[in-house]
Amino acid sequence: MESQMSQPSWLRFYYFGRAVFSIAWIAAAVLFRAQPAIVAFLLVIYPAWDAVANLADARVTGGLIANPSQTLNVAVSTVTALAVIAAVSHSAYAVLAVFGAWAILAGLLQLYTGARRWRRYGAQWLMILSGGQSALAGGYMIIQSIGSVAPTILDIAPYAGFGAFYFLLSAIWLAATANRRAHA
Q: What DSSP assignment string belongs to 12-70? A: HHHHHHHHHHHHHHHHHHHHTTT-HHHHHHHHHHHHHHHHHHHHHHHHHTT-TTT-HHH
Distance CA 88, CA 74 (A): 21
pLDDT band with cut points at 50, 70 and 90 for residue 43:
very high
Residue 121, pLDDT score = 67
pLDDT of residue 1: 42
> What is the spatial distance between Cα 95 and Cα 78, in angstroms, rounded to a whole number?
15
> pLDDT value at position 3?
43
Domain ranges of the chain: 22-182
The answer on pLDDT for 142 being more than 70 is yes
* Global pTM value: 0.90
Between CA 1 and CA 82 the distance in angstroms is 28
4 pLDDT band, cuts 50/70/90, is low
- pLDDT category, 88, cuts 50, 70, 90? very high
